[in-house]
Structure 1
Amino acid sequence: MSSDDFDSHLRKLMAWHFGDATGSPFWLGKRATLGFDPVSDVQGAADLLRFPDISSELRSVPAGQLIPQGLADRPFRVYDSGGTTGAPKRIVDSGYRSRLLEWAHGRLVARGVPATGNWLHLGPSGPHVIGFDVSRYAALGNGIFYTVDLDPRWVKRLIGSGRPEQAEEYVQHLLDQAETILRSQDVAVLSTTPPLLEAICAREELYELVLAKVRAIIWAGTSISAESLRLVEEVFFPGTAVAGIYGNSLMGVAPQRERLDGDEYPCVFEAFPETTLLELVDESGEQVGYGERGRVRLHLVAEEMFLPNILERDSAVRIAPTTPGGPDGLADVQTFATIDDVAVIEGVY
């Protein structure tokens, strides 16, 4: 989608989210406090900076207030963020996420992930959206969806309260369950997090099972260093397709794009261009240049959710688009150690 197409989409959605008959109670209630008219004054992506960052309000606003009145006849689900920077933030979803995941699945297949086959998800399920995401990928390929549930908040609490040995015991409990599945079941794709992938590699029998049976590995949920990614791809799983996904409950997913000759970084993420604009900005809020590191700023403009001007917990390197007018890429995503004086504990997700 070109910038002109995105601006046209934005203007249409402003009329939707701030229309008396279609907008959500949350945004209609904010309309009078904005100091501008979103319908007439927001004409392009640059105008999204006029909105306040409302992400903290998503920790406490009743979820029903987020549902656009124009979609009130649809069933909705609520998904939580991981709670890395405090109480979890909540979003609502009816059908948008499924459409986004169809696009993302195509990107993963282009990276070598089997188009069909069974999936094992070693990671969180509800209330975190990633469990739904992975189940949708499996369904798109008519595959069976196996799960090993994970409570990332409990791991964060154990680490934050100085009980790393109990966190490690919990990790081994997760790996026990994954090993039981892999011993008897056919699994083509493993979806997990970098810390759990590292733990798999350190456990010989489980590692051998993954190496022998799994044809693709999807990693997401936490950052990974370039050296760790190299080891995963070249040393531990050289014959396995490996693909990363950057994302969260608020922004959706930005899967790794295909590697190109001349790429400086081994993994470059691109967001869904129809609805999602990711910018990398400096401390003053100005966009950084290509090849420079900045903090991730999110604008999500979808029919079900409108989330403008959201500063994320991560930084990344800005990568030039692969096609004229295409989305910027993000590389070397790293999570800040603290956000607003709150220590960030990644844990295993």
Structure 2
Amino acid sequence: MSSVDTAAPSSLEAKIQAAKDKLDAHAYEVVQFHFHDSTGCPFWLEKKREFNFNPLTEVKCYADIQKFPLFEDEWLRGGPIRRWVPKALADKPTYVFETGGTTGIPKSRMVIEDHWIDYENFSHTLPDEYFPKGSNWLMLGPSGPRRLRLAVEHLAQFRGGICFCIDLDPRWVVKLIKKGWMEHLEEYKKHCIDQAITILTAGHDIKCAFATPKLLDALCQELENRGMSLKELGITGIFSGGTEFTPQWTRYCIEELFGGPPEESGIYMTPTYGNTLMGLACSKPVTAADKYKISYYAPQPRAVAEVVDFDDPMKVVPYGESGRVKLTTMTKEFFVPGFLERDEGEREMPFDKYPWDGVSGVKPWRGIASSTTVGVY
């Protein structure tokens, strides 16, 4: 958390300070929970023996999270998964979701209710005009052991609707790309789109959808080939996510695929940036006036996204400058201090709705960008 420049309105400054105070209190509470012998999870209770500080007495605010070593994603590969379950929550039904793992052992994240909480919070940001309460949803994204599938279904249920899902294995998509089997890839994509169109044309009164950018594009193109459109099928609200969201793609999507902004097309799209570790970062409203720029804001205080120096992950870059995205997740279920994402972006100023730092221009981190296979995302 950083202060804003002195020209900021006093009301915004007050909101920034209140958000910082809330984050400091939350960080203290979460660390107390995860490192106390009576409530913490086996992983952190064992790991704290390696630290040269005592988290229970020396972490008093969010800035003190810097005392922890950077989180290593290898810690999430392999089991036992129960080493991540806090003692205080050990008797609750537990989910395990996977992330990554196109080759080798995937990373696993233990979840109890975080995916419900994250998406209920996200639900409050959706405009009811375009995401009507009680509407049914289409989930056009990855299925299987991924959090997104159950989370979107819960979002639909939380808003009073029913969620229709397709089968999609993104690991198979990545393998097809790596093998150069582009004809097979195209057929698999058609298979997914066929599933979606079958559902949309079956009289289920679906008004809302989740779709990855690539699949949303493919869906609109195939509907056009068949003489249909999203608007004609009754879709009014689309929740989408991924680093594929560039200002250029967003302009193309809104102007070409939808037929104009919501007030003209009747279709509202909200870009999000999220993952299995963080949850969902909401975007500042995307408009033509702002050249379709997309700025994401993490769901503080449950998660914090910082833009840090490429060479010094402990140093936050100045506003408007580029750096690597560093994530800290702090919930009662899961504590991840200082995880360096595979993404980079530019640091954005706080604003009225989200009075804390944001990140724009998200794209694969330059250290791995040339070797990254995006697949359906």
TM-score band w.r.t. shorter chain: over 0.9
Residues 34, 44 of structure 2: 8 Å contact kept: yes
Of the structure 1 ranges 277-286 and 43-52, higher mean CA displacement relative to structure 2 is found in 43-52
- How large is the Cα RMSD of the aligned pairs? 2.3
- Residue number in structure 2 paired with 1:182: 200
Deviations 1:50-71 (A, max 9, x none): 2221322101232111000011
Residue ranges of structure 2 left out of the alignment (5+ in a row) = 1-17
Aligned with residue 228 of structure 1, among 249, 260, 284 = 249
- Residue number in structure 1 paired with 2:373: 345
Aligned with residue 111 of structure 2, among 81, 88, 93 = 93
Residues 223, 335 of structure 1: 8 Å contact kept: no
- Residue number in structure 1 paired with 2:228: 208
| Shift in Å, 1:261 | 10
- Say if 2:171 is the partner of 1:143: no
Change (3 A) 1:101 1:111: farther
* Structure-2 separation of matches of 1:108 and 1:5: 23
* Structure-2 separation of matches of 1:281 and 1:264: 25
* Structure-1 separation of matches of 2:183 and 2:305: 37
* Structure-1 separation of matches of 2:19 and 2:61: 12
Number of paired residues? 348
Residues 110, 258 of structure 1: 8 Å contact kept: no
* Structure-2 separation of matches of 1:207 and 1:39: 63
TM-score, normalization by structure 1: 0.93
- The aligned amino acid for 2:220 is C
- The aligned amino acid for 2:52 is G
Change (3 A) 1:115 1:205: farther
Change (3 A) 1:17 1:348: same
| Shift in Å, 1:17 | 0.6
> For 2:126, what is the secondary structure of its paired residue?
helix
Change (3 A) 1:120 1:325: closer
- The aligned amino acid for 2:341 is E
- Residue number in structure 2 paired with 1:196: 215
* Structure-2 separation of matches of 1:246 and 1:199: 20
> For 2:345, what is the secondary structure of its paired residue?
strand
Residues 301, 307 of structure 1: 8 Å contact kept: yes
- Residue number in structure 2 paired with 1:335: 364
Residues 84, 346 of structure 1: 8 Å contact kept: no
Deviations 1:62-112 (A, max 9, x none): 211100001111111001113368642111111222122111011123794
- Residue number in structure 2 paired with 1:104: 122
> For 1:115, what is the secondary structure of its paired residue?
coil
- Residue number in structure 1 paired with 2:327: 298
User: How does 1:166-177 map onto structure 2 within 5 Å?
Assistant: 166-177=184-195
* Structure-2 separation of matches of 1:61 and 1:76: 15
Residues 121, 190 of structure 1: 8 Å contact kept: yes
Residue ranges of structure 1 left out of the alignment (5+ in a row) = none
* Structure-1 separation of matches of 2:289 and 2:49: 49
- Residue number in structure 2 paired with 1:43: 60
> For 2:299, what is the secondary structure of its paired residue?
coil
* Structure-1 separation of matches of 2:366 and 2:298: 24
> For 2:127, what is the secondary structure of its paired residue?
helix
> For 2:201, what is the secondary structure of its paired residue?
helix
- Residue number in structure 2 paired with 1:120: 138
Residues 200, 207 of structure 1: 8 Å contact kept: no
Change (3 A) 1:337 1:282: closer
* Structure-1 separation of matches of 2:226 and 2:268: 18
Deviations 1:255-274 (A, max 9, x none): 22335897465322221112
> For 2:361, what is the secondary structure of its paired residue?
strand
